[in-house]
Every structure is written in C-alpha cells, then in structure tokens.
Structure 1
Amino acid sequence: MKVLVLGGTRFFGVHMVNSLLRKGHHVTIATRGKALDIFGDTVGRIIIERTNPDDLSKAFAKKYFDVVCDNLAYCSNDVKYLLDSLNCGRYVMTSSASVYANQHLNTNESEYDPYSHSLKWCTRQDYPYDEIKRQAECALFKAYSKFQAVAIRFPYVIGEDDYTQRLYFYVEQIIKGNPMRIDNLDEQIGFIGSAEAGNFLSWIAEQEFVGSINSSTIGTISIHEIVNYIEQKTGKRAIYSGEGLEGKYNGQKSFSLDVSRATNLGYDFSELKVWIYDLLDKYIDKAIN
C-alpha cells in the first residue's frame, strides 16, 4: 500500500513508520522539514505546513494514498484542512483517552460518541486539549463520513523515546532528592509503550474496521508502585512535600481502557507489568549516569 504518515519522525510515529516499512508498504512522511529523520532513502518525503490549508492543497494536489496515518490532528480544523486537500482510501487518526470526560477503570468506546457531540470548527488554541481532541473526532465522523476512517484512543504513551519525560520525572526527582507534590499516589493508571502504539497504528491501517477504538497495554500501575520500585532499586527515598515539584500525572484518577474491541479484531496487547520495570531500570541508569 501507499501510506502517507503525518507525525512520523519522533516517538511512536517512528515505530509506526518502521513497522509499515517492515511489512513492505511504500511510506511517505509529511513534515515541516525542520527535523532530521532516521529513514534515509526508505521513505518518500513531502514538506508541509500542517495548519495551512493552502499549503496542504498544493502539497497533495493530484496525489492519492491508500492510507493516511495522521498523528498530528489535534482539532477539527486540522481534520478539515487535511481531508479537504487529499485523496485517500483510508484515514487513521491518532486520538486520545482524553476524549472521555469521565475516565475510570475499563472505560469503553461508547462513553464518548462523536456523532452526538456538537461540532465546532476550532483551532488548537480555542479549547483545552480534551475538547479539541473531541472536536477532531467529531469533525472526522460527522463531516467526513465518506472516508473509511478510524480514530485510535491511546492512554499515556511511555518509552525510552518519550519526549514528555513525565514518567522519567519521578525517577529523576527521587535520585536527585528533590521534594515532590503528588496527589494521586494510589490511583491505578493505564499506559501503552511507544513501540506498541506504533505497531498498533500500522496494524489498524491494514484492517477494514471503521470507527473509534481503544488501544492500551493490559493492566495498570500506581505512582506508589512506581516510586516503591525506584526506591528499592536505588536505595533513595522519595521526599513528599506540599511545596515540592508537581507530579506529572497529578490529577489523574484511576483509569484504564477496555480494549476488547481491538482484541476481538485480533490484536494481542502486551501486559504492562511485564515490561514497565525494564523501562524504569533504563530511566534509573539514565538519571544516574
């Protein structure tokens, strides 16, 4: 297949592109051209300004892609500008678990229905993150129903290549002895690894499924469990203080995603606690060295 990828030069986008290439697909990445990538001559490249509709129209004129994988659709205007500008058979959009207003353990896809949401054409600055992601899905399914489209809802994505460094924060502060203010030590939180997120995106691109779908590692873990592991491995003690640095996952209540829709389609997710401690070990090595 001819696959166009927007947002393929870092984090889980790199894993997605590599997975697509391994499967023999012809991949073109669309970027602003400001960041180097690792793909050499294995991919095609198109330079775009993602939020400029005129630029997109020029870049994609007379081009067709079997699948478009879009990791950069943050709002309804992003969806509009892109889908008004290109022809494709299938459109795969990276969405977020943030679309769920009431997150809880085993949150399922029916708990946010983009078809019943009021569509507002908006920019990335118009609303908080959760609402602009709802609007992106709403635009996709209500205004562009002619496309064979799927929206993937991820929880927090983590990995060695996580540029947000949210999980690494806890490792670093414990090792440095910096006080932390944490308000959710015992809440159970769901995650997915960056490599698995990329693999899932490349897998769903090949399927016929349309609609919204959750994608998450199986199981949850608490910040308390994470802290306890770091303490045991380093011999350091976490310091808690109301005046300390704010925990990066503060405010997050217990939640996980029900992935039965994806598993019923045949995708086999990993178990979180099989690999997260290895990731923490790598973070510990990084913080020490």
Structure 2
Amino acid sequence: MNILVAGGTRFFGIPMIYRLIADGHAVTVATRGRTPDGFGDKIKRLCLDRNDEESVAAALDGRNFDVVIDKLAYSSNDVRRLLDHVKCGKYVLMSSAAVYEHTGICTSEDCFEPADYPLRWCERADCGYDEAKRQAECALVQAYSRHKYTIVRYPVVVGRNDYTGRLRFYVEKILAGEPMYIDDPDSRISLIDEAGAGEFMAYIAERDIGGAVNGCCCGDISPAEILGYIEERTGKKAMLTKKGEAAPYNGYPAFAVLDTSKAMTAGFVFCDVKEAVYRTIDSYLAEL
C-alpha cells in the first residue's frame, strides 16, 4: 500500500515505519524536516508545517494515499488542515488515553464517545493536552466521517528512546540519592512499550479495525513496583518525601487500566508491562 505518515521520525514512530517498510509498503513521511532519520532511501519525504495551512496544501494537494497515519494531530484544526488537503482510503489518528475523563480497572473505548462530545475548532495551545486530543477525535468523527478511520488510544509510552524522560526520572533520582514525591505509590497504571506502540500502528494500517481502539501492554504496574525493581538492581533506596520533586506518573487515578480486548480480538499480541518496564530500566542502567 501507499502510506503517508505525518510524523514518525522519533520514538515509537521509528519501529512503526520500519515495520511498514518490512511489510512491503511504500512509505512517505511528512515532517518539518528538522529531525534526521535513519531510513535512507527506503522512504520518500515531504516537508510541511502542520500549523501552516498553505504549507500543508502545497505539500499534499492532489496527492492520494491508501492510508494516512497521523502522529502529529494534537487538535481539531490539525485534523482539518490535513484532511482538507489529502485524499486517502483510510485515516489512522494517533490519539491518547488522556481523552478518558474517568478511568477505572477496565477502561473500554466507549468510555469516551467523540460523536457525542461538543466539537470546538481549536489549536493545541487553546486548551490542555487531554481536551485538545478530544477535539481532534471530535473533528474526525463529526466533520470527516466520510473517511474510513481508526483512532488509536495509548497510555504513557515507555522505551529507551523516550525523549520525555518519564521512566528515566525514577532511575536517575535513585542513583543520585535525590528525593522525589510520589502521590500514590500503589496506583495501578497501564503503559505501552515503544516497539509495541509502533508495531500496533503498522498492524492497524493493514486491517479493517474501525472506530477507537485501546493499545497497551498486558497487565498493569505500580510506581512502588517500579521503585522496587530499580532498588533491587542498584542496591540503592528511593528517597520518598512530599518535599521531593514530583514524579512523572503522579496524577493517575488509583486504577487507570485500559481494556485492550478489541485490539486482541483483531489478533494483535502486546507484551507484558513488567517485562517492558524492567527491560527499559535495564537499558537506562547500562547507559548511566
């Protein structure tokens, strides 16, 4: 298939594109051209600025793709600017589990219905990340439902190449003997590894999975278990105090666990969350 990827040169976009290439697809990557990639002549490249409609139009008007995978849509206007200027057989929107206002032990896709939520045309800067992602979904479902589409909702992604440094924070604090504040060490959370996140996006491109779909590792994990593994591997104790620097996973509900039965019914197998987290921690320890 002829596939356009908006974004994809960082983090879990990298295993996604390599999987698409390995599966024999013709891949075109559209970015601002600021981040080097290692794909060489295996892909084609387009340069555009998602915030500039003239730039998007110049790059995409008249082009037709079997699938568009949009990793860069953070608002309703982002969706509009792209889908007004490209033709495609299927559109895959990279969304987030942040769209769920209330999460529980088994949060399913119907816990947020973009068709029933008020649509507001906005930019990412107009609201918080969670609301901006809701509006991106609303734009797709309410204004562009003529397209076949899949909305992918991930929790926090972990991996060696995570530029946000969220999981790495815990490793560095313990190694340095620096205090940190964790609001609920026993909260149960879902995560997904970068390889699984990328490969599931590529998997969706080839399959008829409609509507929203959750993706995350099998099982759940707590901050206490993360700390325990680091302490075991390093022989150092975590310093926990309310005066310490706030930890990145603070703010999760007590049970923020996603239901992935829809993805698994479609045949995709996610790895175990503890395997993914502990493997990532080991990669950080090998570097530090």
TM-score, with length taken from structure 1: 0.97
Q: Which residue of 1 aligns with 2:10?
A: 10
Report the CA distance between 1:122 and its aligned residue. Answer: 0.3
262-271 or 194-203, which moves further after superposition?
Answer: 262-271
Report the CA distance between 1:28 and its aligned residue. Answer: 0.4
Q: Which residue of 2 aligns with 1:166?
A: 166
Q: Does 1:184 pair with 2:184?
A: yes
Q: Distance in 2 between matches of 1:275 and 1:121?
A: 37
Q: Which residue of 1 aligns with 2:285?
A: 284
Task: Note the alpha carbon deviations across 1:30-51, whole angstroms, 9 max, x for none.
Answer: 0101111110111000000011
- Alignment identity in percent? 45
Q: Give me the CA root mean square deviation.
A: 0.9
CA contact (8 A) 2:158 2:277 kept: no
Q: Distance in 2 between matches of 1:274 and 1:236?
A: 21
Task: Note the alpha carbon deviations across 1:21-71, whole angstroms, 9 max, x for none.
Answer: 000000000010111111011100000001111111111122111000000
Q: Does 1:270 pair with 2:271?
A: yes
Report the CA distance between 1:276 and its aligned residue. Answer: 2.3
Q: Which residue of 2 aligns with 1:69?
A: 69
Q: Distance in 2 between matches of 1:252 and 1:151?
A: 22
Q: Which residue of 1 aligns with 2:25?
A: 25
Q: Which residue of 1 aligns with 2:256?
A: 255
Q: Which residue of 2 aligns with 1:42?
A: 42
Task: Note the alpha carbon deviations across 1:166-211, whole angstroms, 9 max, x for none.
Answer: 0110000000001111112110111000110000000001111221
Report the CA distance between 1:139 and its aligned residue. Answer: 0.5
Q: Distance in 1 between matches of 2:204 and 2:286?
A: 34
Q: Distance in 1 between matches of 2:206 and 2:7?
A: 18
Q: Does 1:207 pair with 2:207?
A: yes
Q: Distance in 2 between matches of 1:67 and 1:246?
A: 40
**Structure 2 counterparts to residues 92-107 of structure 1, below 5 A:** 92-107=92-107
Q: Output the amino acid matched with 2:25.
A: H
Task: Note the alpha carbon deviations across 1:203-247, whole angstroms, 9 max, x for none.
Answer: 001111221110111101111011011111111111112221110
Q: Distance in 2 between matches of 1:33 and 1:280?
A: 31
Residue correspondences, number? 287
Q: Distance in 2 between matches of 1:211 and 1:58?
A: 30
Report the CA distance between 1:268 and its aligned residue. Answer: 1.5
Q: Distance in 1 between matches of 2:37 and 2:222?
A: 34
Q: Which residue of 2 aligns with 1:240?
A: 240
SS of 2:185's equivalent?
coil
Q: Output the amino acid matched with 1:11.
A: F
Report the CA distance between 1:135 and its aligned residue. Answer: 0.5
Q: Output the amino acid matched with 1:167.
A: L
Please, which runs of 5 or more residues in structure 1 have no aligned partner? none
Q: Distance in 1 between matches of 2:158 and 2:114?
A: 26
Q: Output the amino acid matched with 1:286.
A: E
SS of 1:180's equivalent?
strand
Please, which runs of 5 or more residues in structure 2 have no aligned partner? none
Runs of 4+ in 1 over 3 A off after TM superposition: none
Q: Which residue of 2 aligns with 1:135?
A: 135
Task: Note the alpha carbon deviations across 1:262-288, whole angstroms, 9 max, x for none.
Answer: 11111122221233222211122223x
Q: Distance in 2 between matches of 1:269 and 1:225?
A: 20
SS of 1:89's equivalent?
strand
Q: Output the amino acid matched with 1:251.
A: G
Task: Note the alpha carbon deviations across 1:64-99, whole angstroms, 9 max, x for none.
Answer: 110000000000000000000111111001000000
Q: Distance in 2 between matches of 1:233 and 1:33?
A: 40
SS of 1:30's equivalent?
strand
Q: Distance in 2 between matches of 1:137 and 1:117?
A: 10
SS of 1:157's equivalent?
strand
TM-score, with length taken from structure 2: 0.98
Q: Output the amino acid matched with 2:220.
A: T
Q: Distance in 1 between matches of 2:68 and 2:15?
A: 16
267-276 or 133-142, which moves further after superposition?
Answer: 267-276
